[in-house]
Structure formats: structure tokens, C-alpha cells
């Protein structure tokens, strides 16, 4: 940080072929000191939401960063706690048939699970989150490289560096933690609570954002529209990284509640004027079309109407029966226990009055058989 500004590098990449040199260039721009990872256990934390390549951190990015850290002299672990139960980062990349690519190009990194070795965490500074359970495998890492994917999110508007730490919570803790924040604003506070802990533990050391093929629109983070942006965004301040991402889309950070909350706590910089952008500038970025954030239609309305009126603007899971395989994963994911399996049809049934609108079922459905839809007339009109 120079003159009160934090450095963020934006690197243009045409494809996955020159990723190693592009990422190294970004690290050089922010003056990353590679000596801090020599002989250290470095954890790479990708976004492994589900076994869909468009919804996760690119395997080529994971492989490139693994190679770079290995070349620096680090011992590399890769791990995540995906939304679906019983899955790991390793199993996700195996399912999409990219495990061998990471093993070969990434110089045979070690795979760990962040679903295991739970440790109960409680802190006095938590405003909404009473407690959580975090994998000790995450806490034992000497250095953490956060590898988020640039995606929009129907609840938080954007999911990037801060939201990627949601996957350090073990098992169903991720969905249960939604009970602490039942509105977009309150969930933003919950995210800030979790990141406050990460920051306290000095586990947000480096962020390398995969913004090569981004997911945007109201279907993010699972089934949004894909767009070729061709960027890698690199820095050491997770709040600043997400702020730059929101700025690239032309939106105000006020639309992303967790960024304001994190900034107010002194966990990072959310003022674009206090971020020193290196490499290409935001105004030089040429995207094929406008990046669409799910703000206004949903997050704005639900913030305005609480209580009785809230039910008219809530989004509920809508089942696409032709894609449903009746696996019951949605039942396991629901923290409010508002989903039951119909004994006759085998399809899930949704008890709307108990739904807390977290849409964990939508995010974690292995078949993508669920999508968010607004209640009543708005849902019938396709406004979801």
C-alpha cells in the first residue's frame, strides 16, 4: 500500500495458453514477495460450487497458480468445501475431467478437503453470525491464495473474493449459516463476520481472480449467462478486488452490502479512488456486452419491503421436473427444513412460509433442476 492506496493488477489474457506468464506479470506489478511462500504450506482455495465448469474456478487457472507457487518453492494444497454434500475440490475437478490437467500442469499438487476436521468458531465481534464451524485444514495453512471466479449472485449481487471464503465452513454449516442473515443486507453482515475472522487469522494473503469467462445475470452463481471478459485480477486486499470487479461492471459498491460492511470494519478498501489499478485500466476493458448484476429487480425491492410485504418480493425455488433426478440433495441443503420429499411422486415439495430465501437448494442442485423465481404475479411474468 502506497499513500493510503492498495494495489490491484488487471491483466488481459486472450485465452488459457499464456496464463502462467500473465499471472506472474500481475504478481510483479503488485510487487509480490515470493520469499514469503518458500517452504510454506500454501493453500489454493478455488470456487468449487458444483460439477459445472462454468460455475467454478477454471482448472487452467488452478493449475497455473499451482505451478507458480511450486516454482517459488512452496508446498501446494488445493481444497474447498463445495455446496453439495460429500464432494471435494478434487472430486469436482475429476467429475468435469480436468483433474489430470491440474495434476500435470500444476506439478502434482496435494488435495485436501475443507469438509473435514471441524473447529467451532465464536467471536465477540460477530454481529449476526452467532457461531460457525471451519475446517482446521484451512486454519493450518501457512499462506492462502484465494482463487475466486467472477460471478453474479442472486442474493449478494456479486460473489468473488469475500464470498469465496464461505467454502471454508464444513459440511452443512454453509447452509445453516444462512439462518443468521435472512435478508440480502443481513446476509452481507454475516459474510463480513466470516471475513472478519479470516482477516484476524491472517488467512487472506493473496487473491487471484478468474475473470476470463465470467458468469453474470440473475442466474448467477450457478446457471447465469457466460461472457468472455479475458481478465485476471490480482491483489492482496480482497475487499479492493471485489470493489474493482463491481466497478468493471459499472455498478456502485452500495449495491453489494458486504463490501460496505467490510470497509466500515477496516477489513479492506471499497473506495475505488483509493485503489491503485495497475496493468490495464477499467475504462480500457472491452466486454462483448454489459455485465448484468442482479440488483434493483430483486435485492433492492426485498430491502425496501420487510415483514408482510416481503413475501411478495421473495424468490423461491422453482422445480424443473424434467431435470430433477429425485436425489434429495435439496432436502439436505435446506437450513430451514422447508423442503420435503413427496412420498408418492418422489419430487421435492417446498413449504414457502418456512423458506428463508437463501436458495442454497438452487446453488447446490447437482442437476441444476431448481431456479429462483419471485412469488405471485412477478414470478408468473418471469421476473425472477
pLDDT at 297: 46
DSSP 3-state helix, strand, coil percentages of the chain (rounded to 5)? 35, 25, 40
Which residues are within 8 A (CB) of 214 and not within 5 positions of it... i.e. 6 or more apart?
A: 149, 150, 151, 226, 227, 229, 291
Local structure of residue 183 (DSSP, 8 states): S
Domain map (residue ranges) of the chain: 6-281, 299-380
Q: Which superfamily does CATH assign the domain made up of 6-281 to?
A: LarA, N-terminal domain (3.40.50.11440)
pLDDT at 384: 46
What is d(CA 351, CA 354) in angstroms, rounded to the nearest whole number?
Answer: 6
- Total-model pTM: 0.91
28-70 pLDDT tens trace: 999 999 999 999 999 999 999 988 999 999 999 999 999 999 9
User: Which positions ≥6 away from 183 have C-beta within 8 Å?
Assistant: 302, 303, 306, 310, 357
CA distances from 145 to 43, 148, 284 (A): 6, 10, 27
CA angle 278, 284, 287 (to 5 degrees): 120
- Cα–Cα distance, 368 to 384 (Å, whole number): 16
| Residue 381 confidence (pLDDT) | 52
- Given phi > 0 = left and psi -120 to 50 = alpha, else beta, which region is 39? left
- Residue 2: per-residue pLDDT: 55
Rounded Cα distance between 157 and 39, Å, is: 38
- pLDDT 10s digits, 70-108: 999 999 999 999 987 668 999 999 999 999 999 999 999
Give the mean pLDDT per block of 10 residues along the chain (384 residues). Answer: 82 89 98 98 97 95 98 99 85 96 98 97 98 98 99 92 97 93 93 99 98 91 91 98 96 93 97 97 88 65 48 77 94 93 95 88 87 65 50
Question: In CATH, what class is 299-380?
Answer: alpha beta
The chain-wide mean pLDDT, for the chain, equals 91
Q: CA-to-CA distance for 33 and 7, rounded, in angstroms?
A: 14
Cell (9 digits) for 139: 486454519
Give the residue from 92, 21, 58, 27 showing the smallest Cα distance to 236. 27
Domain 6-281 identical in fold to domain 299-380: no
CB-based contact 79:134 (threshold 8 Å): no
Q: How many CA atoms lie within 13 A of 379 on its CB side?
A: 15
Amino acid at each position: 500500500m502506497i499513500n493510503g492506496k492498495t494495489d490491484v493488477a488487471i491483466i488481459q489474457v486472450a485465452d488459457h495458453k499464456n496464463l502462467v506468464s500473465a499471472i506472474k506479470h500481475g504478481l510483479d506489478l503488485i510487487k509480490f514477495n515470493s520469499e514469503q511462500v518458500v517452504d510454506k504450506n500454501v493453500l489454493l482455495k478455488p470456487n468449487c460450487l458444483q460439477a459445472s465448469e462454468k460455475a467454478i474456478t477454471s482448472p487452467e487457472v488452478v493449475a497455473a497458480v499451482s505451478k507458480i507457487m511450486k516454482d517459488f518453492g512452496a508446498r501446494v494444497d488445493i481444497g474447498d468445501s463445495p455446496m453439495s454434500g460429500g464432494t471435494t475440490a478434487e472430486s469436482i475437478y475429476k467429475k468435469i475431467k480436468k483433474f489430470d490437467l491440474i495434476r500435470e500442469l500444476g506439478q502434482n499438487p496435494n488435495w485436501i478437503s475443507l469438509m473435514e476436521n471441524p473447529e467451532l468458531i465464536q467471536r465477540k465481534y460477530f454481529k449476526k453470525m452467532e457461531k460457525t464451524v471451519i475446517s482446521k485444514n484451512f486454519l493450518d495453512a501457512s499462506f492462502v491464495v484465494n482463487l475466486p471466479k467472477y460471478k453474479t449472485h442472486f442474493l449478494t449481487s456479486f460473489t468473488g473474493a469475500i464470498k469465496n471464503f464461505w467454502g471454508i465452513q464444513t459440511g452443512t454449516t454453509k447452509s445453516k449459516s444462512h439462518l443468521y442473515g435472512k435478508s440480502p443486507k443481513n446476509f452481507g453482515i454475516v459474510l463480513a463476520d466470516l471475513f472478519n475472522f479470516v482477516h484476524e487469522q491472517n488467512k487472506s494473503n493473496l487473491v487471484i481472480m478468474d475473470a476470463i469467462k465470467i458468469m453474470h445475470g440473475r442466474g448467477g452463481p450457478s446457471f447465469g449467462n457466460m461472457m468472455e471478459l479475458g481478465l485476471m485480477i490480482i491483489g492482496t486486499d480482497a475487499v479492493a478486488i471485489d470493489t474493482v470487479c463491481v466497478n468493471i461492471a459499472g455498478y456502485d459498491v452500495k449495491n453489494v452490502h458486504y463490501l460496505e460492511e467490510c470497509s466500515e470494519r477496516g477489513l479492506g478498501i471499497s473506495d475505488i479512488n483509493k485503489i491503485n489499478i495497475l496493468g490495464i485500466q477499467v475504462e480500457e476493458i472491452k466486454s462483448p456486452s454489459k455485465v448484468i448484476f442482479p440488483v434493483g429487480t430483486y435485492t433492492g425491492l426485498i430491502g425496501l419491503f420487510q415483514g408482510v410485504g416481503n413475501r411478495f418480493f421473495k424468490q423461491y425455488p422453482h422445480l424443473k421436473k424434467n431435470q430433477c433426478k429425485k436425489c434429495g440433495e435439496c432436502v439436505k441443503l435446506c437450513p430451514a427444513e422447508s423442503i420435503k420429499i413427496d412420498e408418492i411422486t418422489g419430487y421435492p415439495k417446498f413449504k414457502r412460509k418456512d423458506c428463508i430465501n437463501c436458495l442454497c437448494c438452487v446453488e447446490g442442485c447437482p442437476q441444476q433442476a431448481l431456479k429462483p423465481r419471485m412469488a405471485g404475479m412477478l414470478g408468473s411474468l418471469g421476473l425472477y
